[in-house]
Chain A
Amino acid sequence: DQQVKQNSPSLSVQEGRISILNCDYTNSMFDYFLWYKKYPAEGPTFLISISSIKDKNEDGRFTVFLNKSAKHLSLHIVPSQPGDSAVYFCAGPVFQGAQKLVFGQGTRLTINP
């Protein structure tokens, strides 16, 4: 089964700079990965995804990069804004074609003014 790991529990970035959140996975057979954002006392909301056939996907200030050889994906936020302060989770199917998702441990991003 797929595992996803976010090794940084927290990250602090100055407003206007780039935020880079990282995620490692174990199984090279996968369909896609997703990033979710979570504010306190709210459920996670879908942010951006990337399929296995791409190495980059961009949506406004958010870009996800996929490095298949390193089994690594990263989320870039440029420029970072105070409203980006939240917990970010990467997630992927438990196995290829699975309906269930497995989530990383999350990274708490704090944007400092």
Chain B
Amino acid sequence: DVKVTQSSRYLVKRTGEKVFLECVQDMDHENMFWYRQDPGLGLRLIYFSYDVKMKEKGDIPEGYSVSREKKERFSLILESASTNQTSMYLCASSLPQRRYNSPLHFGNGTRLTVT
């Protein structure tokens, strides 16, 4: 079974702090993703990585950066946390989407509150 592990389930940070969210997958997947989930908005893609050191912006990259130094690890960085970044953050991994049966496997999420 694929396991995607997010380092924290709950985080509370202050406005202006630099925040690191860590994600590790154990299935040697090429693709890794960071989404945020907000009520009524579904899951929105922040950043995507298709290989080590490779990244692509998603729909809402402003205020975020990412790091992928190793294949199994994908970090999301909030450079200066703001209250509108309070959300549920979901990391996912997948094989390359060459076939429809390559679904995303998600971690359990990190609930971040910025005060």
Partners in one complex: yes
Interface size class of B (residues with CB under 8 A): 20 to 34
Q: How far is the CB of B20 from chain A (nearest CB, A)?
A: 19
Query: How many Å lie between the Cα of A44 and that of B37 in the bound state?
Result: 11
- Among B67-75, B77-85, B106-114, the one that faces the other chain is B106-114
Interface residues of chain A, those whose CB is within 8 Å of chain B, are: 6, 9, 31-32, 34, 36, 41-46, 49-51, 89, 91, 93, 97-106
Interface residues, chain B, with chain A CB atoms under 8 Å away: 4, 9, 31, 33, 35, 40-45, 48, 50, 56, 58-59, 90, 92, 94, 96-97, 100-101, 103-109
Give me 11 other A-B pairs in contact (C-beta within 8 A), A34-B103, A103-B44, A106-B43 excluded: A42-B109, A44-B43, A46-B103, A91-B43, A97-B97, A99-B48, A99-B96, A99-B97, A100-B56, A100-B58, A104-B42
